Structure 1
Amino acid sequence: MNEPEEHDFPAAADYLSLLYGKKPVRETVRRLRDEKTRLRKAKDIMRASGVDLLPADNLHVRKNIEKVMRGKKLSPVLLVRRPEGLIIADGYHRVCAAYHLTEDLTVPCRLA
């Protein structure tokens, strides 16, 4: 999909609120809403974020793989660039699913 689903933004805010205060989270989510969707390779998102790849049989990863195999589009991933590295604010399971399909798969994302 080119546009994130509306529920992705509160999900990103919930995750980011574990790391940052209310004001920085609110500003970051506003910026994510305003950004244009761009494409990045799954392998690059995984490397830059430093997160572990979930297995393909993880319930949420598997569901996303199945959606793609049925021709459905997934919501863009919401990413936050920080000095300490890239944060996947929302869409971790979607990035893992894309990587399992092919690590060179381009993933729609918003980057703030």
Structure 2
Amino acid sequence: MAKSDVKEIKWLPDVEEHDYPAAESYLSLLYNNDRVADMITSLRSAAIVQFKAKDIFRASQLPLAGVSNLHVDKDRKKIQKGISLSPLLIVRDEPRGKAVIADGYHRLCAIYEFDEDAWIRCKII
């Protein structure tokens, strides 16, 4: 299936449970444990919202992972097969003026390859 054959990105109705511990692990590298615990609690109760893929990349200040990345490839195949993806988990780091992708970076990279204007479902605090 070619990239152009993908009509839309399909999403799960909520974040998969295993994404929260993954986000917690990543955030623990950046913030103290008490703050991370509060962030995870807030992310769990946050509403699902949408932002364009290109805007999330700009706000995160992260590079696009290469097409040879195994995790990106796994998510690319899910998109091609019409398998629903888990929404991203994002934390606003206002003092640094950027968005921290706590979980979902590889999903974002895979989606961006199909359509940089795609709407990305996420929880953001």
Which runs of 5 or more residues in structure 1 are unaligned?
none
Query: Partner of 2:107: helix, strand, or coil?
Result: helix
Which residue number in structure 1 is paired with residue 20 of structure 2? 9
Residue aligned with 1:94, SS: helix
Name the structure 1 match of 2:62. 51
1:5-29 Cα shifts (integer Å, max 9, x gaps): 0010010000000011111000000
Q: Which has the larger radius of gyration?
A: 2
- Matched positions, count: 112
Instruction: Name the counterpart of 2:101.
Output: 88
The answer to whether the 8 A contact 1:2-1:108 is kept is: no
- Structure 1, 55-64 or 42-51: larger mean CA deviation: 55-64
Q: Aligned partners of 2:31 and 2:101: how far apart in 1?
A: 14
Q: What amino acid maps onto 1:82 in structure 2?
A: D
Gaps of 5+ in 2: 1-11
Superposition deviation, residue 49 in structure 1: 0.1
The within-5 A match list for 1:28-107 is: 28-83=39-94, 84=96, 85-107=98-120
Shift of 1:57: 2.3
Tell me the TM-score normalised to structure 2 length: 0.87
> What is the percentage of aligned positions where both structures have the same residue?
46
Alignment check: 8 A CA contact 1:62 1:97 kept: yes
Q: 2 CA distance for matches of 1:56 and 1:106?
A: 20
What's the offset of the Cα at 1:55? Answer: 1.4
Q: TM-score, normalised by structure 1?
A: 0.97
Aligned residues: CA RMSD? 0.7
Displacement after TM superposition at 1:61 (Å): 0.5
Give the secondary structure class of the aligned counterpart of 2:41: helix
Deviation of 1:40 after TM superposition, in Å, equals 1.0
Aligned-partner Cα distance in 2 for 1:57–1:25 = 31
Following superposition, which runs of at least 4 residues in structure 1 exceed 3 angstroms of deviation?
none
